[in-house]
Every structure is written in C-alpha cells, then in structure tokens.
Structure 1
Amino acid sequence: MNERILLMRLKHKSERALTEVIERYTAYVTTIIREILNDKATAEDVEELVADTFIALWTTAERIDYIHYSSLKAYIGMIARNKAKDFLRTHKNINLELYDDVLVIDDGVEKKILQKEQQQYIKDLLNRLKPEDRKIFLLYYYQYIKIDEIASIMQMNPQTVKTRLRRGRETLRILLSDEENIAYEDKD
C-alpha cells in the first residue's frame, strides 16, 4: 500500500492502516529519536517516545492534508523529531548540542557523511556571528531556553534578545546566499 493511501486511511481512522504504518516505520522512528537524544535518555524513554509518535500520528490523522503530505515517512519523521526535542525541553538539564540536531533520512554511510558535513557547515556559519549573537542563537535554538530567560542570563531586555535573534537569522540567510552565489560562480 502506498503512502498516500495509508494517509487517507489513517485520516478515516483505519486501525489496519495504523498497524501497517507502525510495522513499516518503527525502526525509522526509533533511529531518529536515538540520534537526537543520543545517550541522554534511557531505552524506556526511547520506546515511550516511539509510541508517542504513533499516537500523535493517530490523533492528528484527520487533520493531515494527504495531498500536500504525500510522504508519510517525512511526516512521521517530523513528529518523531519534535517528540525527541520536546523530551529535551522538558528535561531542563539536557541540552541539544549543535552536532546532535540531525534528521535521519537514511542509514547509509554516504548520508551520514553528508549530514556531518552539513553540521560542520552550520557550525562554521554560526561562528561567523558576533559572539554575543551566537550565544543567544545557541541558547534559543539548541538549548531551548525561552527569550525571557535568555534576557536574564544576558542581562538584556527581552525585546533586544528578539531583535538579535531576528538579525542573526538574517545574517545567516545572507551568509548562505553569499555561499550559494560563490558556488554558482565557481561552476561558470
């Protein structure tokens, strides 16, 4: 059964479709959650998050626009990734390091090498931000600290933190654009 049909059947609350999805994607979901949590959770936590992923799929199935989400695997991967990050958020003493933020698409060696290269590329881009802006960016996006808390840590106004986050995103967007332009010129 193809993914689009599975999505339609899930939308109509087919338990048989859910069973097939669980059988087909349990290993994939488990891999994503383990990659994100690394050694920051027990095996029981991972199992619970896997189950929570499929429960979330089931409870939101009627809202899925199966025409736009033709890839069930990508949709489930997104749910799994969010569940793992939510786990990290609720366990305040656990931080997601920059190199832990990986969405596993494939278990192939080539894919993992590409992911590591992308992580290094992101690290290099972040290192080009002003130190204070980089710290705010990492606190917000990788340690899940709220803006008010960052403002307290950095001894800034919360609006200043928001402005620096916005400017940081814009700077990264410009850096990415410049990199793309250089790569494009190199091809000529």
Structure 2
Amino acid sequence: MDEYGERLTKVAYNYLKDWSLAEDVVQDVFITCYKQYGKLDEVTYFKSWIYRITINKCKDTLKSSYMKKVIFDSNLFRFFIAKEPTPEMTLIHQSDEELLSISVLSLTVKFREVIILYYYEELSIEEISSILALNKNTIKTRLSRGRARLKELIERSEQEDGGKANKFT
C-alpha cells in the first residue's frame, strides 16, 4: 500500500476526475489484492497486475448507473456558475501546468490512459501493453495520436486566451 497507494490513486483520479471516488476505488483494489493473496504466485508482474485491477475498477465505476447519475446531475450546475472567473481562478488557469492537466483530462479515455501511464507513471511501452492488454504498436499509435490531440487542445486554448506563448507546444 505504501509503495503503490498514491500512484494508483492518481491513475484512478485521471479516470474518474473525483479524488474521493479515486481513493475509494484504490481502497477496493487493495481489498481485492488481499483477497487474491493466495494466488500471487500465479502473477508474473505485480505492478502490471495491480494497475490492471485499478483501471478495470475505474472503468466499472464509470459504467455504473450511480456514476452516470452523478455526471448528469453535475452538468446541471454549470448553469449556476458565474460567467466571470474569480481572480484566483484566473491565475490558476494561466498556469501552464494547469493548462496541461486540464488538456490531458479532456482527452478520451483511450488516449488519456496511455499518456498518463507513459508520462506521469513513467511506464515503458511494454509495461503499458501488458497492463492494457494491447499490442505494443497500438500503444505507440495511441501515444502518438494522444500527443497530437493534446497539442491541438493546448493550441486552441492559447488562441482563446489571446494567443500567448506556451512552452508545451
């Protein structure tokens, strides 16, 4: 738990976009690992195995009717948010790191998961291939297309903000 807890929570957050829900999923992952303790001899790569469990639990959570209801209900709140951001929010949105994080989170799951695992978790193509049970070339293609999509999102955001320069493009 000490070794993987924080990293798995970050991966789960990138899927679920809710920190407390991500913590719940990771707690459930560790319970699953505890229940499967007797079968650990059959696991070839523990790191890939635990990441795969986390990703599957995140996808299950996203598919659940509870999650669909929460997402639907949260969309209603956007009509009640003020049109002008607060000064604090303006500063946050001007940050390059914030722009990159928002852009990564706005990618579709198939691109977001590969980008996060490769850049944030610093996993190799082979490890990602094992975790996601996909061909290495598929991982490389998704990584390439994800980068291109990320570049488009950042450039579009810059144009909307008045065309200021950004170090990520």
TM-score when normalising by structure 2: 0.41
Greater radius of gyration (CA)? 1
